[in-house]
Each structure stands twice: as C-alpha cells, then as structure tokens.
Amino acid sequence: MGAPNVASKWTSLAPELLSVLRIVSALMFITAGTTKLFAFPPGAPGGGATVPLMSQMGIGALLEVVGGALILVGLFTRPVAFVLSGEMAVAYFQFHFATGGFWPTVNQGVGAALYCFIFLYLSAAGGGPWSLDAVRNKT
C-alpha cells in the first residue's frame, strides 16, 4: 500500500471523524455543565458547590448539559451548535478575556475558545453520518 492509497483512505474517513469530533467534544462539554449543576465530577469552581439554577452560570450550565446531550446524539446539531458557540464566545470574553487579558493560555480560556470554534464548525458541518440528524434525513 503506497502513500497515495493511505492518504486517500484517511481522507475518506472525514465524515466519520466529524462524528467522532462531535461525540468526544460533547462528552467533555457535558461535564462542564454537570460540574456546575450537580457538583460532579469535582464541583463548581470557587468552592466545589453547585451554582444557582436561575443565575447566568446556572443557565450556562443548563445549556452545557442539555445542548451537550443534543450534540452528543447529533440531534438538531446545526442550531444547537450555533447557540453553544455563542455561549462559549460570551464565556471567553466575559470570564476569561475581561479578567485575564487576551491570551487564552494566560487567562485560562483555552477550553472556551476551542469549544467556541468547534461548535461554530459543527454549526456549518452538521453532525456527520453517526448522528440522529443523519437518520432523520434518510426518512
């Protein structure tokens, strides 16, 4: 098997790898919400408790859990990913940039910045072949 065959085989896996990116990102993203809502796994930053549900962080946590679950199964991927991308942009600029400057590695905003652009990509690309969106579109 020569290099061109390996390269063409690898690039042919792009749709499935889009689904893998969506699933893995969603699994990690959900834990950001469960940390704030249920103190699991570690508890919310600043003491390990939960956040009030009707606060900005509580609403963000709901978006992370519910939106993350929808992204995980690939249901309504495009609109949900667009909303979550916006949430992460707000999180970056309000909680990281405003308190720690521009650079994500300095202000601890790497996660927010990456999620923002991963979700922005998913809002354009969709959920991939391993998603409920793909199943719904076949009917």
Helices 77-91 and 110-125 meet at what angle, rounded to 10?
Answer: 160
Predicted confidence at residue 138, as pLDDT, reads 85
pLDDT of 63 higher than 90: yes
- Contact between 107 and 80 under an 8 Å Cβ cutoff? The reply is no
Q: Which two tokens stand for residue 128?
A: 């991939």
* Structure confidence by residue, pLDDT tens digits, 65-78: 999 999 999 999 99
Taking the model in full, what pTM does it have?
Answer: 0.91
139 versus 63: which is more confidently predicted? 63
pLDDT of 111 higher than 80: yes
Q: What is the mean pLDDT of the chain?
A: 93
Q: Phi and psi for 48 in degrees, rounded to 5?
A: 80, 15
CA distances from 94 to 17, 57, 86, 89 (A): 32, 12, 12, 8
Predicted confidence at residue 2, as pLDDT, reads 63
List the chain domain ranges: 3-138
Alpha-carbon span 50 to 34, nearest angstrom: 9
